[in-house]
Structure 1
Amino acid sequence: MITSHMNGFVQEASGQAKSHRERAVDCPGDESSLVKAPHSGSSAQMERIQHYQEELRKRREEEGGRGKHDIDPNASLRLKKLSQNPKVGIDNPTFDSKEKPTKDALTLDPLADLEEWLTALKWAQHCLTDAQSQQDVELTMQLLSKEDFRNAFTIYSAVSLQRSKVSPNSPLTAQAEDLCLEVQKILQSSQQKEGLELKALLTNPQFQALMQAHDCVAGQEMPEENVTQYVGETVKLVRLEKARDTPLGATVRNDMDSVVVSRVVKGGAAESSGLLSEGDEILEINGVSIRGKHVNEVHDLLQQMHGTLTFLLIPSSQIKPAPHRQTVMHVRAYFDYDPSDDPFVPCRELGLSFQKGDILHVISQDDPNWWQAYRDGDEDNQPLAGLIPGKSFQQQRETLKKTITDRTREQQGKIWSAKKNKKQRKKNATVFSKTTDLEDILTYEEMSLYHQPANRKRPIALIGPTNSGHDELRRRLLSIEPEKFAVAVPHTTRTSRIHERNGREYHFVSRPAFEADLGTGKYIESGEYGKNLYGTSTDSVRHVINSGRICMLSLHTRSLQVLRSSNLKPYVIFIAPPSQERLRTLLATEGKTPKPEELKEVIEKAREMEHNFGHFFDATIVNMDPEPAFYELRRLIEKLDTEPQWVPTSWLC
C-alpha cells in the first residue's frame, strides 16, 4: 500500500514500497479558505430570474422615490410577499406584481384564512336557533380572535407549506447580495420596529457571509460530462480554496487502480471543511483523471496546481460513526522519537519528533497505532498535527526490540553459559521474562496541570552525582531562609546522645518498629550504617509541608520511584555537572584535587542517572557556576507559586 503527500496530501508507504519519501507541497490559495459545494443549474432559469429582476428595477425607477423612507410593507410588494410567507418574497418570482393574485397566492396568507372563517362563523351564528350551538360558535370565534392562536396558526401554516412543496433542485437567484443591499437602502431612514429588526438582520456579518456563500455556490454548475463518465456510481464534487499558509492535511494511498483518501489530519483545510473523508476515492482533480495514476504522479500533478482545487469523489462506503467531541489527552514522553529514523511511520513528513520529557497534546486516537498530536509550546508554529506512535504500538515494538537484544546476548553467552550453575541460569530466565511485560516499557504518562496551594508547598528533591554541587545548593538554601525551607527529620534505630532530642535531630525508634514501617512503605529511602538503620519517612516530609515550609530533599535516584508513588507531589530537579575541565576548576576552588578518573566517573554517573531516571526529572540545572546555578534554583522554586506545572494525572485522582 503506497501513499503520497502532495499539496498538503502526504505520501504513505508500507511493505516493499520502492519510495518512502514524504514531500509537502502546499497549494497557494487566497488569504481565506472557502468551501464550495457542487450545484447543477439551469441557464434558462437564470435568464428568467435576471429578466424578472430587471423588470423590478425598471418598475422601481418609474415609481420614483415613492415609499423610499417608509417601511410600510404595502409600499413594497416584495416586502409584502416576504411578510406573508418566507417561501414567497424577495428571491421568489412566484407571480408578477402586475398580475392579479390567484387563489393559491391568497391562501399563502394564513390570517386572511382566519378572517374568512370568522365571517363564516358569524353568518352561521345568526342561522342557529338553539342557545348551546350559539354559545359553541361564540367560544370558537373567541379562540380564533386570540393573538396566541393566530401566531400559532401562522407558524403551522408556514411549516405545512414548506413540507408540502418539493425543494427546488437549483437556486432561484444568484444575486442574493444585491437584493439584500436593495432592501437595506429602503430601510435606511426607517424608525419602525420591524424595519430596525430587518436592517439589523441584513447587516449581520454572519448573514452577509451566508448570502455571499449562497451566491458563490449558486454561480457554479457541475459539468455534466463528469457525471456521465461514472455511470452507476454516486459521485460528489468538492471545491476547496485553501489559504497559502494552510495545508490541506490529508494522506492518500493507492488501492489497485484507485487513489483513496487514507487519513485526514487535524488542523488542515480538509479536516476543517469536513468535505473529505477517509475512504473517499479521488476520480478527478481540476478536471484531470486520477484513476490509474501512481500516488507519485498525483503528487507531481498537484505541485503544478494553484488556487481552487476541485475534487470529483466517490464517497466512502464505510459507515461513518456519529461525530463525537474528542478530548485532548496530555502526555509526557518517556523516550526520544525521530520519525526520519522510523521505517514504520505512515508519513515521515507528518511525523512529530520529540525528546524524553516533552509534553505532547494528543488530539486524535482514531488510529490506535498512530496518534495525532502537538508538542507543547509549538501549537502556533505547527499548523498540522503530527503523527506519533500510539502507546500500545510503541510498547509492542520496544518489547520486540528487547526480546531480540536479549536473545542475541543469550546466543553470544552460550559459550560460557554452560559454566554457570542452574540457579544462575534460572535467574537469567526470570529477567528475560520480565522484559516482555508491556507495563515495564516506558512510553507515555498522562499529565494534568496542577497549581500548588499557598499553604501546601511541594517538596523539592535535588538529584545529582557526588561532587555535582546539589548538596551545597541545598545547604545554602536552608541557611539563607530557614523560615521558608526545612529538612525532614530522619528516623534511626541508634540510641540518642546527650545533646540530642527526639524529634529534633532524629526520631529515635526501635529496630522492630523501623522494620515494620519499612515493610509498609513508609520510608522514601533507608539504609544501614554501623549496624543501625537510618531513613527518611513520608510522615516526616508531610510534617514539614503541613507547617507551610518547603521540604528540601537530597535523595538517591533509586528513591525517586517511592517518592513519586506517594501523595507528596514532589518537584524533582537534576543538578548536572559541567564539562570535566570546568568541574576540575570548581572543585579546586573548594580545595579538592580529584584525579582525572574521578572526574570522568562523575560525568559518567550523571549520564547514567539521566538515561535511567530522566523521565522523573521536572527540571535540570547544569552547575557551570555556583552563583548562576543557585539563582536558577530559586527561580524554579518560585515559579511553582506563579505557574501551574504538569504532574501525573494519577496524582490528582
Structure 2
Amino acid sequence: MKRPKGRVQRVLQTSQQKEGLELSALLTNPHLQALMQAHDIVAVQELTEESVTQYLGETVKLVRLQKARDTPLGATVRNDLDNVVVSRVVKGGAAERSGLLSEGDEILEINGIPIRGKHVNEVHDLLQEMHGTLTFLLIPTSHNKPAPHRQTVMHVRAYFDYDPSDDPFVPCRELGLSFQKGDILHVISQDDPNWWQAYRDGDEDNQPLAGLIPGKSFQQQRESLKKTIPDRSQEQQGKIWCSKKSKKLRRKNTSTLNRNTDHDDILTYEEMSLYHQPANRKRPIALIGPANSGYDDLRRRLLSIEPEKFAVAVPHTTRNPRIHERNGREYHFVSRSAFETDLAAGKFIESGEYEKNLYGTSMDSVRHVVNSGRICLLCLHTRSLQVLRSSNLKPFVVFIAPPSQERLRTLLATDGKTLKLEELKVVIEKAREMEVNYSHFFDATIVNFDPDQAFQELRRLVDKLDTEPHWGCHIRNCTSFF
C-alpha cells in the first residue's frame, strides 16, 4: 500500500461524485498520509529482512539478522552430508527474536560466502569474525513450522557442577550455561531431551539468551559411564557458532550413551517450587549433624528462649509410663502391636528400638505442632530426611557442621566433654560423609565455630522464612530425582 498520487489522485480530484470528493479529502488528510508513510517504511524494512526467491532452481529465503560483536546469534547448526542445517534456535537470542530462522533450514550463504560443503567448525570461525547486519541465504525447511506455544517453566535444583568449557559433547560452548551444585535453574525448553534450555536463578534480567544444560537422562547416562569411558576431553573439540559435532561422531556417542537407561538412582536435578510460608502454618525445622556437632544444643536453646514459638513433636513409645509422665505430654504410650501397625503404614518419620522398647516420631505428631501455629523443631538421622520430605510438611533442613578438629576439642572441653583424638576425627569424618551423601537435602548449612554465632545464624534463617519465599521440593516429586 502506497500513498495516493499520480493518476488515481487526479481522478479523485476531478471527480464530481460526492463519494469521490469525500475519498479524495480523506486520502489527502495529513494524519492519514503520515500513517501510510509509516506503513511504507515498515513494509520496506520487512522486505529487507526476509524475502523469497529462486536460487539455482531452489526456492530460497533471504533473511537479515543483526549480530552484536562477541555475542552468539543463539542457534546451533549441524552437518548433514555437505549441507549445513539449523538444528536449534535458542530462546532469547537474536535468531529466536527475529522469527526468521527455523530448525531444519539449510544455510547456503552468509554475506555472499558459500556455506554448503563447509564443516561446522569453519562456519563457527566465519561467524565469529562477523557482526552487524548478516545476510543469510536459506533453503527453508520442508516441515511445517509449529505454532508458537507457551511452554511450562520447570524449576530445578542442580545436584552437580557443570562447566560447558570442559564438556566435549555440548552442542555449543558459547551457549552452554555453567552452574554449581545447589543452583536453581529455570528450564524453559525440553524440546531436545539431551540439551535443555535454561536460565540460572537471578540471571534472567542480565542474560536474555537462554543457556544449554545437559538433559536429565543424558546426564544420568554420562554419570553412570564415567568410569567405563576414557577421558575424551583432549579430543577434537567442535568449534561452533553454535554447531554440533560431525554426524559420524555424534551417532557413535549417542548409541554408546543409550545402552543403559536405568539410572534413576543418579541425582542430577530435583524439581522445585517457590514456597511462601503462611503465617499460621510454619515449616518444621530439621536440624541435622553428627554427634557432638552441637545441633541438639541449638534446639534446646531455641525451645528455652521462645517456648511459645517453638515446640517438639511428642514421640511414640511402647514402654510403660513412669510415675511423672502423662500420655500425650512426654510420650504417646501405645502397645507394640499398634506401633508396628503404624510403622508398616508409613506413619513414622523415624523409629528405633532401645532396651526392647520401640520409639518413634510420627507425621501426625509433627502436624499437630504445625497446626498449632508453632515451629516444630526436629533432630533427625539423615536417613529420615527423605521420608520427611516426601510428606506435604515442607521441612526446612539445616545441617550443623562441626568446626576444625582443634576448635571442636576446645568447644567440647568448655562443656566438660573430653574426646580422644580418634573420636574427634570420627566427628569430622561423619560430617563429611553426611555432606557427600545427603547435602542435596540441606536447605542451609551452619558451621558451628562459635555457639552464639551459630545460634544467631539459625535464628536469622528461621525469621527469614516469614519474610522471604524459599525454593522447596516440589511435592509431586519429593522422592523422585531428575
Relative to the length of structure 1, the TM-score reads 0.62
Distance 1:292 1:608 in 2: 54
State how 1:588-627 maps to structure 2 within 5 Å: 588-627=413-452
The answer to whether the 8 Å contact 2:447/2:454 transfers is yes
Distance 2:11 2:20 in 1: 19
The answer to whether the 8 Å contact 1:491/1:536 transfers is yes
Distance 1:489 1:258 in 2: 70
Partner of 1:382: 207
Displacement after TM superposition at 1:355 (Å): 2.9
Q: Structure 2 residue aligned with 1:542, among 357, 367, 373?
A: 367
Structure 1 residue 214 corresponds to structure 2 residue 43: yes
Distance 2:264 2:477 in 1: 21
2:464 aligned counterpart, secondary structure? helix
2:264 aligned counterpart, secondary structure? helix
CA 304–108 in structure 1, closer or farther in 2 if over 3 Å, else same: farther
CA 520–217 in structure 1, closer or farther in 2 if over 3 Å, else same: closer
2:398 aligned counterpart, secondary structure? strand
Q: Which residues of structure 1 form unaligned runs of 5+?
A: 1-86, 113-178, 185-197, 406-434
Q: Which residues of structure 2 form unaligned runs of 5+?
A: 231-259
Displacement after TM superposition at 1:401 (Å): 5.2
Q: Structure 2 residue aligned with 1:480, among 271, 283, 305?
A: 305
The residue type equivalent to 1:183 in the other structure is P
Partner of 2:410: 585
Partner of 1:265: 90
Displacement after TM superposition at 1:483 (Å): 0.4
The answer to whether the 8 Å contact 2:105/2:140 transfers is yes
The residue type equivalent to 1:636 in the other structure is L
The residue type equivalent to 1:521 in the other structure is G
1:350 aligned counterpart, secondary structure? coil
State how 1:560-575 maps to structure 2 within 5 Å: 560-575=385-400
Distance 2:49 2:291 in 1: 75
CA 588–379 in structure 1, closer or farther in 2 if over 3 Å, else same: farther
State how 1:439-454 maps to structure 2 within 5 Å: 439-454=264-279
Q: What number of residue pairs does the alignment pair up?
A: 446
Distance 2:288 2:21 in 1: 82
Structure 1 residue 329 corresponds to structure 2 residue 154: yes
The answer to whether the 8 Å contact 1:246/1:383 transfers is no
CA 208–243 in structure 1, closer or farther in 2 if over 3 Å, else same: farther
Distance 2:444 2:455 in 1: 14
State how 1:446-465 maps to structure 2 within 5 Å: 446-465=271-290
Larger radius of gyration: 1
CA 603–283 in structure 1, closer or farther in 2 if over 3 Å, else same: same
The answer to whether the 8 Å contact 1:95/1:101 transfers is no
Displacement after TM superposition at 1:601 (Å): 1.7
State how 1:528-539 maps to structure 2 within 5 Å: 528-539=353-364
Write out per-residue CA displacement over residues 144-184 of structure 1, whole angstroms, 9 at most, x where no aligned residue.
Answer: xxxxxxxxxxxxxxxxxxxxxxxxxxxxxxxxxxx99x925
Q: Which moved more, 1:314-323 or 1:536-545?
A: 314-323
Partner of 2:117: 292
Distance 1:102 1:348 in 2: 67
Write out per-residue CA displacement over residues 6-30 of structure 1, whole angstroms, 9 at most, x where no aligned residue.
Answer: xxxxxxxxxxxxxxxxxxxxxxxxx
The residue type equivalent to 2:271 in the other structure is E
Distance 1:439 1:215 in 2: 55
Q: Which has the higher strand share?
A: 2
Partner of 2:255: none
Displacement after TM superposition at 1:299 (Å): 2.7
The residue type equivalent to 1:505 in the other structure is E
Distance 1:343 1:369 in 2: 14
Q: Structure 1 residue aligned with 2:181, among 326, 350, 356?
A: 356
Write out per-residue CA displacement over residues 106-143 of structure 1, whole angstroms, 9 at most, x where no aligned residue.
Answer: 7986999xxxxxxxxxxxxxxxxxxxxxxxxxxxxxxx
Partner of 1:280: 105
Q: Which has the higher helix share?
A: 1
The answer to whether the 8 Å contact 2:85/2:106 transfers is yes
Partner of 1:649: 474
Distance 2:191 2:409 in 1: 53
Displacement after TM superposition at 1:340 (Å): 3.6
Distance 1:244 1:359 in 2: 30
Distance 1:94 1:485 in 2: 88
Displacement after TM superposition at 1:559 (Å): 0.8
State how 1:108-147 maps to structure 2 within 5 Å: none
CA 340–308 in structure 1, closer or farther in 2 if over 3 Å, else same: closer
Distance 1:577 1:493 in 2: 34
Relative to the length of structure 2, the TM-score reads 0.83
